[in-house]
Amino acid sequence: MGGYVNRFIKHEHANTRDAFVSAIGQERAERVLASDDRISAISREYSEILRLFGRYVRNFQMRDESNVRDNAFFFCGNSPLGFKKIKEAMWKIDPVNGNEFSAYVVRKRETQDDFLKKEPYLHGLKSEVLERFAGQRDVFGKELKLWADYESERFLYTHLRYVLEELVSEGVVTYQAPSSSTRKRRTNTWSDEGWFDFSTVKPSSN
């Protein structure tokens, strides 16, 4: 209940304030209070707490009829398949960013024709895959597939295959098809046995 916590975490009544502090800890509560976006900070701190209990953590923001952020849905577990399935479900609800539901947007769509196809925004995935595999050679297609479905925080392999096409066409990374391949590769499709070269990509200094 991120919106509720945001309203009351600075409450003057000590019992109310202490209840939230006891839930996430004094240090985390102070970081939330110091943040310019306390609702995002609440979700971030709560996610870090959940990581103590499960390897895979994902949150999905909810917006009300006025498009105001109120609640957030969290997934926490140790099943990689469960993590993949919850990401798939989230992308079905939000085909653009895969991380938010807005009752306001749904109502707006119901009152007007919506002919435009919603394309996923993949810039974040491009940065994520380059950072993860920077400097590496011989990264097999299967490794990238597993990474996207089970390790990427938000995206799936169905998104990564388009990003890989862009990176190869730009010359940022190179791709080598397996020697057994005899057919011409179709756009946005990659062999599990083919490999990518990220060796010219420099890791971030952060």
Burial category of 60 from C-beta neighbours within 10 Å (exposed 0-12, middle 13-18, buried 19 and up): buried
3-state secondary structure of 75: strand
Question: According to the 3-state scheme, what is the secondary structure of 10-41?
Answer: CCCCHHHHHHHHHHHCHHHHHHHHHCCCHHHH
User: Which of 87, 110, 133 is the endpoint of a domain?
Assistant: 110
Residues 6+ apart with CB under 8 A from 200: 172, 173
Same domain, 99 and 150: no
What are the pLDDT tens digits along the chain (206 aa)? 766 676 666 665 566 677 777 778 888 888 888 888 888 888 899 899 999 999 999 999 988 888 888 888 999 999 999 999 999 999 998 888 898 888 777 777 666 655 555 678 899 999 999 999 999 999 999 999 999 999 999 999 999 999 999 999 999 999 999 988 778 889 999 999 999 999 999 887 65
What is the DSSP pairing of strand 56-63 with strand 100-102? parallel
**Structural domains in the chain (count):** 2
Task: Determine contact, residues 61/25, Cβ cutoff 8 Å.
Answer: no
Domain, as residue range, for 100: 2-110
pLDDT on residue 4: 67
Same domain, 94 and 162: no
Strand partners, 77: 56
Residue 64 lies in a domain: yes
Residue 44 lies in a domain: yes
Same domain, 62 and 98: yes
